[in-house]
């Protein structure tokens, strides 16, 4: 049996916070400074080793990876990290996120902190995530892969 039975087939859609593939994946380890959903955009917290959900006027640090262990209370049946949980934060690679609208491969990535969803266009409260683009097209409510590459020295981002 071949390791990859259909090498030309796309990888299956995963869950928010999972890697799509292993082509360019890199992450750093941090502690949750507050509740964080899998696949949520984050920023550095009050201490060097903590991250918290991204808010306007701050620097985008990456996207929270999914993990088997988390102590947070699920919201809409989606698991979350609780304060103090150890997590990985993707700052380079291709990672799945939950969509708030239809997106097209190559679109810029907009994130809305109030619902934790990702979009392909500006809108009230949405933030353009630097170094990110959609790696495949996707539809409202589905998951889609985002190619992410955080560049050191990026400026803080603000909501539209």
Burial bucket for residue 141 (CB in 10 Å: 0-12, 13-18, 19+): exposed
Is it the case that residue 153 has pLDDT exceeding 60? Answer: yes
Name which of 94, 79, 93 is nearest 36 in CA terms. 79
What is the arithmetic mean of pLDDT over 30-59?
94
How confident is the model at residue 72, as a pLDDT? Answer: 79
Predicted TM-score of the model (pTM):
0.85
Q: The domain 26-149: what is its CATH number?
A: 2.40.300
Domain ranges of the chain: 26-149
Question: 88-105 in b/e burial notation, b at 16+ Cβ within 10 A?
Answer: bbbbbbbbbbbbbbbbee
Q: What confidence category does residue 2 fall into, taking pLDDT thresholds of 50, 70 and 90? A: very low
Q: Cα-flanking dihedrals φ and ψ of residue 90, to 5°?
A: -70, 125
Q: What confidence category does residue 11 fall into, taking pLDDT thresholds of 50, 70 and 90? A: low
Cβ neighbours for 150, distance < 8 A, ≥ 6 positions apart: 60, 61, 62, 91, 92, 130, 131
Q: What confidence category does residue 23 fall into, taking pLDDT thresholds of 50, 70 and 90? A: low
How confident is the model at residue 75, as a pLDDT? Answer: 78
Instruction: Please state, in angstroms and rounded to a whole number, the distance separating the CA atoms of residues 81 and 38.
Output: 8
């Amino acid at each position: 049996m071949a390791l990859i039975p259909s090498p030309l087939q796309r990888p299956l859609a995963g869950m928010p916070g999972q890697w799509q593939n292993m082509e360019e994946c890199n992450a750093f380890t941090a502690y949750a400074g507050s509740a964080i959903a899998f696949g949520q955009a984050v920023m550095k917290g009050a201490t060097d080793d903590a991250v918290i959900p991204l808010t306007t006027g701050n620097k985008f640090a990456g996207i929270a990876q999914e993990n088997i262990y988390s102590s947070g209370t699920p919201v809409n049946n989606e698991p979350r990290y609780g304060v103090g949980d150890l997590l990985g934060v993707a700052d380079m690679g291709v990672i799945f996120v939950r969509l708030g609208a239809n997106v097209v491969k190559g679109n810029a990535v907009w994130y809305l902190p109030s619902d934790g969803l990702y979009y392909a266009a500006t809108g009230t409260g949405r933030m353009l995530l630097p170094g990110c683009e959609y790696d495949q097209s996707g539809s409202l409510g589905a998951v889609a892969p985002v190619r992410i590459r955080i560049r050191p020295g990026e400026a803080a981002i603000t909501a539209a």
